[in-house]
Chains A and B, each alone.
Chain A
Amino acid sequence: KAGVTQTPRYLIKTRGQQVTLSCSPISGHRSVSWYQQTPGQGLQFLFEYFSETQRNKGNFPGRFSGRQFSNSRSEMNVSTLELGDSALYLCASSNGDHTGELFFGEGSRLTVL
């Protein structure tokens, strides 16, 4: 069974640009959640999608957005990039059950210059 796939793995952008990250969940999983990890703030929840609907949202500005497609694949977008957006962005999939564990991808490492 293939795991969670995130693309791209590494990318470099400059301030003011935008970026789109992609996540393909484990087959059959309908929930995809996104996390930002930085040395200073640790792992922080961004949002969760279930069956194409945003089900929960963390405390991030509107520059951070996401969506989920009918095949459960998800994308997140960050517009008007700031230096502080440099981070490891992790995607996790689950079956969406309230006790279901999360399966994480390897992450997309974004560097903003």
Chain B
Amino acid sequence: DAKTTQPTSMDCAEGRAANLPCNHSTISGNEYVYWYRQIHSQGPQYIIHGLKNNETNEMASLIITEDRKSSTLILPHATLRDTAVYYCIVRGSTSGTYKYIFGTGTRLKVLA
């Protein structure tokens, strides 16, 4: 499973865009990039995932570089409720590889 590297922590002003980077330089062609977040004492929550194209949903946007070695999760208008630990995960799509390897994540603090 490819490994990911994320900054330990980041701050973002409320109402501004939060851009969370992730490095996955060893990603292989059939591996997807997933983002989850975990608000204190709760189970992780799915945010978004993608393979090579940029993706957007009601929660966030995912920008994947052309070489797929890194990605950025964008929360367009961060609120205090977005304060959480954000995990970037690379997961294989081949049959039998179903385990997610969670790294240490980025602790995002949204400031009022």
Contact = CB atoms under 8 A, between A and B. Distances in A.
A49 to B, nearest CB: 10
Interface size class of A (residues with CB under 8 A): 20 to 34
B43 A4 contact: yes
* Interface residues of A, dominant DSSP: strand
Contacts of B92: 98
Interface residues of B, number: 24
Interface stretch (A67-75, A77-85, A104-112): A104-112
Contacts of B97: 56, 98
B68 interface: no
Interface-central residue, B95, B96, B99, B102, by most chain A CB under 10 Å? B99
A55 B98 CA distance: 8
Contacts of B36: 102
Given A98-B93, A99-B32, A104 B44 contact: yes
A107 B43 contact: yes
24 contacts: A31-B98, A33-B98, A33-B99, A33-B100, A35-B102, A42-B105, A43-B44, A44-B102, A45-B101, A45-B102, A55-B96, A90-B43, A90-B44, A92-B43, A98-B92, A98-B93, A98-B95, A99-B93, A102-B44, A102-B46, A102-B100, A103-B46, A104-B45, A106-B43
Interface of A: 4, 31, 33, 35, 42-45, 48, 50, 55-56, 58, 90, 92, 96, 98-99, 101-107
Interface string B42-68: 111110010000000000000000000
A56 B96 contact: yes
Contacts of A106: 42-43
Given A56-B96, A58-B99, A107-B43, 15 more contacts: A31-B98, A33-B98, A42-B102, A43-B44, A45-B101, A50-B98, A55-B96, A56-B97, A56-B99, A92-B44, A98-B98, A99-B93, A101-B34, A102-B46, A104-B45
